[in-house]
Amino acid sequence: MTTANVHQAKTNLSKLLDAAARGEKVVITRRGQGQVSSFVLTPVKQAAKKSKIFGAYKDKIILAPDYDDADAEILEMFEESINKPI
């Protein structure tokens, strides 16, 4: 059994979690008095990590044929506004 006060628990939380995950009983005390909180952890199955692959969405995202046309319209509006007197 592992016993730690609140300060020690904050400082060594990852170690306490590892101990609890191994099945050890972990007790955290408050102010050294009879007030004791205990907790038992059960390991959680972790989802398999999927590696991030550059270009994984290639050919899966399709843009409309006129996608860039809007850019030309916006550029034209900006150019017109620059040439207009204030």
- The number of C-alpha atoms within 13 Å of 80 and in the hemisphere containing its C-beta is 6
Distance (Å, whole) CA 21 – CA 8: 18
- Distances in Å between the alpha carbon of 46 and those of 1, 2, 18, 43, 50? 26, 25, 15, 9, 12
pTM over 0.75: no
Q: What top-level class would CATH report for the domain 2-39?
A: alpha beta
Residue 30 pLDDT: 80
Taking a C-beta distance cutoff of 8 angstroms, is the pair 40, 25 a contact?
yes
Residue 41 pLDDT: 59
Residue 82 pLDDT: 81
Residue 11 pLDDT: 93
Residue 67 pLDDT: 75
Beta bridge partners of 28: 4, 37
10-residue block means of pLDDT along the chain (86 residues)? Answer: 85 87 81 59 63 80 79 83 76
